[in-house]
Amino acid sequence: MSYDALREECLQANLDLPDTGLVDLTFGNVSVADPEARVFAIKPSGVDYKALKASDMVILDFEGKVIEGGLRPSSDTPTHRCLYLHFEGIRSVVHTHSRSAVAFAQSGVDLPCLGTTHCDYFHGAVPVTRDMTPDEIGGEYEWETGMVIVERFKALDPTEVPAVLVRNHGPFAWGPSGKKAVENALALEIVADMAIKTMSIRPNAPPAPQHLLNKHFFRKHGPGAYYGQK
């Protein structure tokens, strides 16, 4: 995959963020990787979405070295890199501060799977990471953020639950393409909003039954999927 193609896919995915209402101000970034070449493109830090061009995207290798690009990469770059190194099969990472997902991250409560909208995208609750230690925060903070995500997924499959809520911070989502990763981030915000509304009607609403969860997730994902066009 050429760097130009990476930059272009990365730009488009970043531009989708304000269009979907997922980001306020400049609170968000997308990266897109070429895992075989072990490189990824990422949004530059603190640049307004309205002014973003493909040539602004920064190309780094999986060791964190800038390969091409004149701007500083997003301050969250080490988190993205950490996920590419640990989660096989993902090609794009999205970070936003979308409001309802942030609310779960701030409350420290896993986002429960309450219905089929959730089941269609996430095979179970979307987990919150543990508190980071003062050492982790004082050290390589953004890398360590990635490491607490990896730790939280020890018993989870990142292709079945393609998102996480970083404690007191906000969501990261991922997927097989920039477009899919942004779609997962948007689905996460939608189901978080639905969950808040559900809990306002019935605070301890039970999660959707396991067989309903399996049915909906595997109706859309994996070899038995029959949703969408062939």
Site for a second copy, residues 8 to 27, rule: CB under 8 A: 24-25, 27
200 belongs to the binding site for a second copy (CB under 8 A): yes
Considering the complex, state which of residue 93 and residue 132 has its C-beta at the smaller distance from a second copy: 132
Residue 99 CB, nearest approach to a second copy (Å) = 5
46 belongs to the binding site for a second copy (CB under 8 A): yes
Residue 168 CB, nearest approach to a second copy (Å) = 4
Site for a second copy, residues 106 to 145, rule: CB under 8 A: 106-109, 114-117, 131-132, 134, 137-138, 141
71 belongs to the binding site for a second copy (CB under 8 A): yes
Of 12, 3, 219, nearest to 116 by C-alpha is 219
Q: Which of 129, 186, 188, 217 binds a second copy (CB under 8 A)?
A: 186
Catalytic residue among 56, 110, 120, 193: 120
x-marked contacts with a second copy along 85-104 as a string, rule CB under 8 A: ------------x-xx-xxx
- Whose tokens are 């101000």? That residue is 25
**What number of chain residues touch a second copy (CB under 8 A)?**
60
4 belongs to the binding site for a second copy (CB under 8 A): no
- The stretch near a second copy (CB under 8 A) out of 8-16, 31-39, 60-68, 162-170 is 162-170
In SS3 terms, the chain reads as CCHHHHHHHHHHHHHHHHHCCCCCCCCEEEEEEECCCCEEEECECCCCHHHCCHHHCEEEECCCCEEECCCCECCCHHHHHHHHHHCCCCCEEEEECCHHHHHHHHHCCCECCCCHHHHCCCCCCECECCCCCHHHHHCCHHHHHHHHHHHHCCCCCCCCCCEEEECCCEEEEEECCHHHHHHHHHHHHHHHHHHHHHHHHCCCCCCCCHHHHHHHHHHHCCCCCCCCCC
- The stretch near a second copy (CB under 8 A) out of 8-16, 41-49, 60-68, 154-162 is 41-49
In order of 5, 7, 20, 40, the CA distances from 1 in angstroms are 7, 10, 27, 11
Considering the complex, state which of residue 65 and residue 202 has its C-beta at the smaller distance from a second copy: 202
Catalytic, 121? Answer no
Considering the complex, state which of residue 38 and residue 46 has its C-beta at the smaller distance from a second copy: 46
Catalytic residues: 120, 227
